[in-house]
């Protein structure tokens, strides 16, 4: 049995910052899992939900505009701030953040406390500098 590390963050209290990373890699296995979850064929899933990445042969998830951040993964429910394909999410999403702590969650929690605003959302990119 695999021992699970303790987790010191709560994704339910985050505006889904990880879903706004500009490049979420998608493997062939990920694409098959997403297609099966959505009840469509792999080719259609690849065409609709991915695009070419910066590396040769790499596929990444497509984005759409987002109110909290500039763009976000097209599978992010913008109202609930949660993944609509959570059970079929790509391996990169399953592995995030890869440590018992999430740096953005720690930062956001500290800022919410400091500014006395439990609903504060800090956009990843400030566009009006």
Would you list the domain boundaries of the chain?
A: 11-114
- Percent helix, strand and coil across the chain, each to the nearest 5: 35, 15, 50
Q: Report the percentage of the chain scoring pLDDT > 90.
A: 56
Helices 42-49 and 28-38 sit at what angle, rounded to 10 degrees? Answer: 100
What's the pLDDT score for residue 101? 86
What's the pLDDT score for residue 98? 85
pTM of the predicted model as reported, rounded to 2 decimal places: 0.80
What's the pLDDT score for residue 123? 61
pLDDT along the chain (129 residues), means of 10: 74 87 95 98 97 95 92 94 96 90 84 88 53
What's the pLDDT score for residue 56? 94
Query: How many other CB atoms sit within 10 Å of the CB of residue 25?
Result: 17
């Amino acid at each position: 049995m695999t021992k699970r590390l303790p987790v010191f963050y709560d994704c339910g209290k985050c505006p889904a910052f990880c879903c706004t990373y500009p490049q979420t890699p998608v493997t062939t296995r990920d694409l098959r899992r997403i297609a099966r979850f959505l009840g469509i064929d792999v080719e259609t899933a690849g065409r609709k939900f991915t695009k070419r990445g910066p590396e040769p042969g790499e596929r990444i998830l497509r984005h759409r505009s987002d109110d909290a951040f500039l763009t976000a993964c097209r599978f992010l429910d913008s109202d609930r701030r949660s993944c609509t394909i959570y059970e079929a999410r790509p391996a990169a999403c399953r592995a995030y953040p890869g440590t018992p702590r999430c740096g953005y969650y720690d930062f956001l929690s500290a800022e919410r406390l400091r500014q006395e605003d439990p609903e504060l959302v800090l956009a990843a990119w400030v566009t009006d500098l």
